[in-house]
């Protein structure tokens, strides 16, 4: 039955493999069968490399914590010699790499069996995954008319559909946490520079982007983070050192914490009533666990931060497009509308704007640090201001890049929380704790002070123990 392995997390599946209850080849067979059965409706898994996976099994899978667990990497970043990539774009279709990225080598050392990639929006700059290079949108297993989010939308859809127990993602403005929210999964963005960027990137989006994972349990994320943490050779900076590691942190209570409750956006604007209700229910749960919950929100300059984020991403997108064009004209058959609009916006900026924008996000980081230093241990908000958007709402057809990102109906209005913590570099997580009346997942967002990853993930584990979510499965995932 395809669904047998979809009912457990990666840690449990690894234990089954270690006991010999199932073979590594059988686990891969089940994942491939799930792709065949479910991916036509989802369009989440691409560039399948079964031969590479079989060869890795025959040559001996590394004896790591996830030995033999089938795995998928995002089709953006995570460069690997044996896994070509489209990077979500027709401009970069079928790109190949001369060496592995540091993050891929660390993931591989855990013993996972990688067999393909998952879809992403072009440039990774969307909250939905509908890139033209994949021939259609990626859909949410909970409701096919809705998006699984972005930019790690394919990863979220694949895990929620039970194709794999966990998958690689990355997060430059919420790109792990948004799919986690939309797909009823756990998504954790570590402190800036906790994971390696090299050698293909010196830093992603001025240090705002970082790799991560979409998982069904906190323990899977904790183990993966421990396996992958630390700078790569020549990294320009590193995160504060961990005390004992994420896996050790989740084995002990987080202590009594001070929780700041924000049931609006960070600027005080209202959010969807169903989402607000989920935030308030989580506040009550935290109080029942012994934590002190008080209303509060940061006084940081969110508007300044978001404009700086938007300009940095436009400049990064323009740089990427220019490198791929190699002197060719920027045409609609190569780059979608939002990418063209981002490149055009970048051309309007003064050459000094990039450094000014970087200074802005660092000023914002200091403002956020002051809020946590003087007040709470944790900030509680929603992950998104509303339930998962419908397919098509955030496609890349428009060339109005500023409107798409920060207009009144743009992505920032839909996702007003996540990017703040990419800019500040703080750790943040989305937990699957709420549901709309229509049965759509609602994520709850928790953030901690810079470098305080272990306290945050310990709280996430405590919440998971008090209100388990692993049994919640999309109907598609429960079918054989």
Residues belonging to the active site: 74, 151, 175
Strand, helix or coil for residue 218 = helix
Strand partners, 391: none
| Residues 439 and 183 sit within 8 Å (Cβ to Cβ) | no
Could you tell me the two tokens for 465? 């123990």
Smallest CA-to-CA distance from 14 within 83, 103, 113 is with 113
Residue 371: which residues within 8 A CB-CB, separation 6 or more? 298, 299, 300, 379
456: CB partners within 8 A, 6+ apart = 188, 378, 427, 428, 429, 446, 447, 448
Cβ pair 301, 364 in contact under 8 A: yes
Token couple for 416 = 């007003």
Number of residues in the chain: 480
Tell me how far apart the alpha carbons of residues 397 and 95 are, in angstroms, rounded to a whole number: 24
Helix/strand number for the chain, H first, E second: 18, 11
Greatest Cα pair distance, the chain, in angstroms, is: 61
**Cβ atoms 228, 78 nearer than 8 A:** no
């Amino acid at each position: 039955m395809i669904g047998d392995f979809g009912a457990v997390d990666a840690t449990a599946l690894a234990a089954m493999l270690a006991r010999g209850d199932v073979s590594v080849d059988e686990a891969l067979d089940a994942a491939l069968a799930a792709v065949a059965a479910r991916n036509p409706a989802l369009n989440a898994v691409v560039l399948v490399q079964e031969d590479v996976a079989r060869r890795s099994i025959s040559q001996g899978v590394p004896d790591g914590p996830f030995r033999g667990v089938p795995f998928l990497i995002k089709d953006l970043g995570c460069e690997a010699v044996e896994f070509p990539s489209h990077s979500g774009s027709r401009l970069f279709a079928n790109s190949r790499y001369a060496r592995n990225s540091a993050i891929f080598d660390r993931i591989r050392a855990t013993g996972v069996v990688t067999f393909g990639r998952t879809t992403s929006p072009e440039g990774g700059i969307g909250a939905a995954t509908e890139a033209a290079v994949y021939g259609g949108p990626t859909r949410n297993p909970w409701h096919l008319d809705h998006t699984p989010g972005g930019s790690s939308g394919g990863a979220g859809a694949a895990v929620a559909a039970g194709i794999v127990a966990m998958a690689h993602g990355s997060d430059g403005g919420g790109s792990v946490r948004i799919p986690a929210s939309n797909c009823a999964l756990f998504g954790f963005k570590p402190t800036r520079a906790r994971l390696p960027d090299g050698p293909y990137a010196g830093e992603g989006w001025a240090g705002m982007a970082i790799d991560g994972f979409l998982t069904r349990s906190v323990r899977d994320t904790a183990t993966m983070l421990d396996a992958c943490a630390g700078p790569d050779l020549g990294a320009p900076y590193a995160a504060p050192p961990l005390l004992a590691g994420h896996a050790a942190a989740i084995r002990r209570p987080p202590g009594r914490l001070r929780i700041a409750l924000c049931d609006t956006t960070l600027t005080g604007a209202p959010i969807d009533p169903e989402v607000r209700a989920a935030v308030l229910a989580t506040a009550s749960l935290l109080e029942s666990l012994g934590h002190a919950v008080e209303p509060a929100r940061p006084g940081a300059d969110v508007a300044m931060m978001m404009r700086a984020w938007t300009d940095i991403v436009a400049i990064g997108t323009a740089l990427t497009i220019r490198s791929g064009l190699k002197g060719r004209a920027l045409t609609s058959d190569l780059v979608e509308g939002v990418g063209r609009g981002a490149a055009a916006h970048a051309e309007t900026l003064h050459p000094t704007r990039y450094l000014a924008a970087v200074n802005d996000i660092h000023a914002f980081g200091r403002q956020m640090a002051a809020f946590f230093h003087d007040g709470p241990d944790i900030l509680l908000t929603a992950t998104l201001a509303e339930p998962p958007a419908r397919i098509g709402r955030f496609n890349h057809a428009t060339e109005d890049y500023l409107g798409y990102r920060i207009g009144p109906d743009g992505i920032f209005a839909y996702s007003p929380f996540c990017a703040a913590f990419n800019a500040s570099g703080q750790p943040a997580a989305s937990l699957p704790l709420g549901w709309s009346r229509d049965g759509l997942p609602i994520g709850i967002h928790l953030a901690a002070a810079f470098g305080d990853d272990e306290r945050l993930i310990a709280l996430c584990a405590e919440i998971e123990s008090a209100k388990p979510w692993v049994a919640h499965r999309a109907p598609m995932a429960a079918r054989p």
